Amino acid sequence: MRSSSCLRLACLLGCLAIPGVRAGRVDLAESVHIEEWVRHPVYGDPSFDAFERLPGNPIHRGAPPFAWPVNGFLFHDPQGGGLYAYIGDYGEGYLSPPSRCLLYRSADAGRNWASLGVVLQGDPGAFDKGGHTPDVSVVYDAGRYHMIYDWGEKDFNQEGGIAYAWAERPEGPWHRAPEPVVRNTTQAKLLGAYQRTYAATLVKRAKDWLVLGMKDVPPQRWALFAITAPHPAGPYGPPRLVRNVDGDYFHPPLMEFFPAFVQDGFVYAPATSVARNRNFNALFRAPLERAEDPAAWELFRHGSVWHSEPVGHEAAGIWGQTFSGCVDPAGMLWALFPSRDSRGMGTINLARRPWPTSQRERGFVLSGHGGPSLTCLRRAWGDFQLDFAGRLHGQARVFWDYRGALGPDQPASDATLHPLAWVNCQALEWSADGWRLLSVDAAGKTNVHAAGNHPADPLWRGTLERHADGRVVLRHGDRTLWEGRLPANHREAAPGALGLWVNAHSHLAVERFAVTGEPQPARLAYLFTEGLLGAGQGLAAWRAATGPEYRFGQGLVATNQAARAKWNVAGTRLSLWAPTGPQWGKISVVLNGATPVTVDLRAPAVTPSHPVWSSGPMARGFHAVVVQGGGDPFPLDSLEAED
């Protein structure tokens, strides 16, 4: 994490009446308003989670040639007591040298950890041919410790799968089965694509054993699958996909699971985004005894599961699969989590929170790691007063009247925000170096209208006011820093969204975000790249298109029948935007898996992008809109969500 001075902004004027600003004050830094904020695997996550770090982090740090210890499994031994941390130890880039599994043990509730060295590694005489054996999960039952682990030959991408081992102690020695549970090259491709198997969790159920693991088609698609067997060593039945982007239901894309944990009759599967920022997390769950049934799964928590701290050993956010959860007998959720430090070395760390208390009452974190992060509110204000308080490392912006286009720069892993996400808005930017008032036009050109030094007082007492006549007032305490008008880049009567941006390698802890004014529903536009990302599609079935007929000057055209798009969004009314013209054909639109609706995009002449389909009023929540062609070319533009 890039270091910079820590700023604290505070305002004492939030309850004072401001001429021209109508009454009505809400502090959106209180967690009761958690669903007001947009959170997304690529854009970023304003997280209200209640995790607190344990002292002594990291418990393990990578060093060449094993630079990336980036996965782990936390195990509480029900027999001997103590905590065990099984760590997947990789070389940088994952492929070389062959990965292995390390083990740490704590006998004093995580205060101190002893390294027990390597407990699992490849054997030239075994099916892995001396290759990879990194990531494990462990269960105690009937006097033995049972392990499922992923394996691979030296080229992990050519051959691998998952395998079984057992031991009489958590430390081993571990006795590996002579043949693997799953060999990738003998697996049938699910949905014609998913074959590679890795990152599996072993779970004991009442009458059988369950394995939850990952299948992928990188760099676009990741899926959680389930297999069951009467015994932990198998034989296991055929796999079933239980969560994936290919369904017509809401599912945040780019999510990678492992490991799962069991609590109160449910199996919980945390997942972390593999976008560039690595700062969005989700939590899925299913009743334990029905976990092999896709219909039993639900998205239990969309974002606000995890946050990063502005410390060197968490510079990359969560880097690896996700955190490993374990609820102790006292009801404390422990989390073993991987990251990378500012030198790129992997780190393994610990945090915890009370199991029932997932969110703090107030305050959230928005962090940028490999790229910037953006969040905005699902409500908009025309004239308002903002009372903001936060602690910042790096650089951040408060923006308003936002009419940018939300979406990734590419529909693949390592994605970051599309350039069109930072257009058409006004903003206050600040850092340790000072503040600037900005306007950004439709082409992304930034104009600076005022600037100043950061006050010497670490407490910045200020307000931001935006009046109906276009005036903007920035105050620090009783002092007016700037007053004037910023140019508007649009002619629409309805106001744009209000939100926050943090730059890459920046960390913003918001303590107060109180808005006084009269809110209206925000209208947020999601780009065509978001549609491809949500469907797990690359660009093979599409070609790029530009022109004034597209809402933001660019879009895509379907080139074959495989073209499919899906937007996973929240809102109470959704509208699909597209140009129409003589060169286009029909499409089908599916909302939340319901009966397809046919939309004809053919017209006598080219008409600029406009709503061609609307959901009508809906209950507030998460929705999925799928667009599929019938063989004719069709344009892909954007989806608008109103809340």
Q: Are strands 405-406 and 523-527 parallel, antiparallel or unpaired?
A: parallel
Domains, the chain, with CATH or none: 7-47+367-521 (2.60.120.560), 52-358 (2.115.10.20), 539-642 (2.60.120.260)
Output the CA torsion sign for 605, 609, 610, 612: positive
The three-state secondary structure class of 439 is: strand
Does the pLDDT at position 16 exceed 70?
no
Q: Over the stretch 61-104, which tens digit does the pLDDT of each residue have?
A: 999 999 999 999 999 999 988 999 999 999 999 999 999 999 99
Lowest mean pLDDT among 143-157, 454-468, 581-595, 623-637: 454-468
> pLDDT-derived band of residue 6, with 50, 70 and 90 as boundaries?
very low
Burial of 451 (0-12, 13-18, 19+ CB in 10 A): middle
Does the pLDDT at position 487 exceed 90?
no
Instruction: Read off the pLDDT of each residue in 196-211 and give the average, rounded to a whole number.
Output: 98
pLDDT of 19 = 40
Q: What is the DSSP letter of 560?
A: S
What residues contact residue 600 under an 8 Å CB cut-off, 6+ apart?
A: 585, 586
> pLDDT-derived band of residue 126, with 50, 70 and 90 as boundaries?
very high
Look up tokens 């007063």; give the residue.
Answer: 385
Rounded-to-integer distance, Cα 578 and Cα 574, Å: 13
Q: Over the stretch 500-510, which tens digit does the pLDDT of each residue have?
A: 999 999 999 99
Burial of 485 (0-12, 13-18, 19+ CB in 10 A): exposed
Rounded-to-integer distance, Cα 288 and Cα 487, Å: 56
Q: Are strands 7-10 and 459-466 parallel, antiparallel or unpaired?
A: parallel
Q: Are strands 60-61 and 52-53 parallel, antiparallel or unpaired?
A: unpaired
> pLDDT-derived band of residue 491, with 50, 70 and 90 as boundaries?
low
Look up tokens 């099916």; give the residue.
Answer: 127
With helix as H, strand as E and coil as C, how does 110-153 read? CCCCEEEEEEECCCCCCCCCCCECCCEEEEEECCEEEEEEEEEC
Q: What's phi and psi for 567, nearest 5 deg?
A: -100, 125
Calculate the CA dihedral of residues 529, 534, 535, 541 and round it to 10 degrees. Answer: 10
Q: Express the helix, strand and coil content of the chain in percent, nearest 5 each.
A: 5, 50, 45
Query: For residue 120, which amino acid is it?
Result: L
Does the pLDDT at position 460 exceed 80?
no
> pLDDT-derived band of residue 470, with 50, 70 and 90 as boundaries?
confident
Please give the full DSSP string across 498-522, using - where no structure is assigned: EEEEE-TTEEEEEEEEEEEEEEEE-
pLDDT of 457 = 56
Rounded-to-integer distance, Cα 462 and Cα 480, Å: 9
Start-to-end CA distance of the chain, whole Å, equals 35
Query: Model's pTM, two decimal places?
Result: 0.94
User: In 553-596, which ranges are E strands?
Assistant: 554-558, 564-570, 573-580, 586-591
Is the CB of residue 129 less than 8 Å from the CB of residue 107? no
Does the pLDDT at position 184 exceed 70?
yes
Rounded-to-integer distance, Cα 225 and Cα 292, Å: 8
Calculate the CA dihedral of residues 18, 23, 28, 31 and round it to 10 degrees. Answer: 140
What residues contact residue 329 under an 8 Å CB cut-off, 6+ apart?
A: none
pLDDT of 459 = 53
Residue positions counted in the chain: 643
Rounded-to-integer distance, Cα 413 and Cα 273, Å: 8
CA distances from 327 to 107, 256, 424 (A): 17, 21, 46
Lowest mean pLDDT among 155-164, 235-244, 259-268, 283-292: 155-164
The three-state secondary structure class of 344 is: coil
- Mean of the per-residue pLDDT values of the chain: 93
Look up tokens 């046919």; give the residue.
Answer: 598
Burial of 318 (0-12, 13-18, 19+ CB in 10 A): buried
CA distances from 507 to 369, 430, 585, 637 (A): 8, 12, 47, 33
Q: Over the stretch 377-428, which tens digit does the pLDDT of each residue have?
A: 999 999 999 999 999 999 999 999 999 999 999 999 999 999 999 999 999 9
